[in-house]
């Protein structure tokens, strides 16, 4: 073997090691979170963690049900608000608006995706929370407030991915439908949207992942009471907030229980990721 071949092999091997960095980080994170979080789950029983309704860490009561329900509620709420708005915007911007307007608005919307989540939370706290309190009653800090803020936060993601997948539908589809006498809207509804479906779904799942994983914005507007909310006007605490709120001072089993919260969050996110990956893979295949 010549010297150059040897160098090349050395480089190849080093790069392979580097290339495993992402996978290793993923593995290490998984191991650490699970190592820290699972023992206590088994000690007190999986059932008491998943279905226990009382979170009193000082009394060794670690029921996570309110937080699980809370995360699901605000995520669902975010989708109810973000998906129709996002989809409508994407459809409008791709099929019905002036080309120039779209060229201007798409980047603007994507720029807004970069605004830090604390800023969204802050705006919610300053404007949305008082508005809800005064007009609908309750403390204002609520499921509703968190859902609206998260819904707005996922808008850029949903819009920009939906635009991309609607644009990916070949123009020949549209022309074919129009030629058959369909109106533009009929074409969009019956031809374009079905063709773009899996891309749109992947975008929604990505937005969902973003909503369920969001922490700081939710903490600022959700009120954070560790009880299952009776209505959307009551405060709520999510899995992410549970970790962030108590991590600063928790120790011993309390801290382990927060890692257990992380484990559950992690599992939910992984399931979502896998679904999103599969859907986008299917889109690519076609």
Per CB under 8 A, which of residues 56..95 are in contact with other proteins?
Answer: 84-86, 88-89, 91-93
Eight-state DSSP code of residue 113: T
Residue 200 CB, nearest distance to other proteins (Å)?
Answer: 15
Q: Candidates 39-47, 54-62, 102-110, 193-201 — which segment interacts with other proteins by CB under 8 A? A: 102-110
29 in contact with other proteins (CB under 8 A): yes
Among 63, 66, 209, 229, binds other proteins (CB under 8 A): 209
Distance between CA 133 and CA 150 in Å, rounded? Answer: 18
Dihedral sign computed on CA atoms, order 48, 49, 54, 58: positive
47 versus 118: smaller Cβ distance to other proteins = 118
Choose, by CB under 8 A, the member of 142, 177, 215, 234 that binds other proteins.
215
Q: Give dist(CA 197, CA 124) in Å, integer.
A: 32
- 250 binds other proteins, rule: CB under 8 A: no
**Chosen residue from 144, 146, 163, 272 binding other proteins by CB under 8 A:** 272
CA end-to-end span of the chain: 45
- Around 7, how many Cα atoms within 13 Å sit in the side-chain half-sphere? 3
Residue 141, Cα to own-chain centre: how many angstroms? Answer: 21
Cβ(192)–Cβ(174) below 8 Å: yes
**Residue 78 beta carbon to other proteins: minimum distance, rounded to whole angstroms:** 14
- How many residues touch other proteins under the rule CB under 8 A: the total is 87
Q: Does residue 248 belong to the site contacting other proteins (CB under 8 A)?
A: yes
């Amino acid at each position: 073997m010549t010297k150059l071949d040897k160098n090349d092999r050395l480089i190849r091997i080093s790069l392979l090691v580097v290339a495993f960095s992402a996978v290793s980080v993923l593995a290490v994170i998984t191991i650490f979170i699970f190592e820290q979080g699972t023992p206590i789950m088994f000690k007190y029983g999986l059932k008491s963690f998943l279905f226990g309704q009382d979170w009193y860490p000082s009394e060794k009561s670690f029921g996570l049900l309110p937080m699980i329900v809370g995360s699901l509620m605000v995520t669902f709420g975010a989708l109810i608000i973000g998906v129709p708005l996002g989809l409508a915007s994407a459809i409008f911007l791709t099929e019905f608006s002036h080309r120039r307007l779209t060229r201007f608005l798409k980047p603007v919307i994507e720029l807004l995706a970069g605004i830090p989540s604390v800023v969204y939370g802050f705006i919610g706290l300053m404007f949305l929370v008082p508005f809800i309190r005064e007009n609908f009653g309750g403390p204002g800090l609520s499921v509703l407030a968190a859902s609206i803020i998260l819904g707005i936060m996922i808008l850029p993601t949903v819009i920009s991915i939906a635009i991309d997948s609607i644009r990916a539908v070949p123009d020949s589809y549209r022309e074919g439908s129009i030629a058959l006498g369909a109106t533009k809207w009929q074409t969009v509804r019956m031809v374009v949207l079905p063709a773009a479906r899996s891309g749109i779904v992947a975008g929604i799942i990505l937005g969902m992942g973003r909503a369920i994983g969001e922490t700081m914005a939710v903490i600022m507007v959700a009120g954070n009471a560790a009880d299952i909310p009776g209505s959307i006007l009551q405060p709520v605490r999510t899995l992410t907030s549970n970790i962030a709120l108590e991590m600063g001072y928790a120790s011993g089993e309390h801290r382990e229980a927060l890692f257990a919260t992380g484990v559950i969050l992690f599992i939910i996110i992984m399931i979502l990721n896998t679904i999103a990956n599969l859907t986008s893979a299917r889109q690519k295949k076609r």
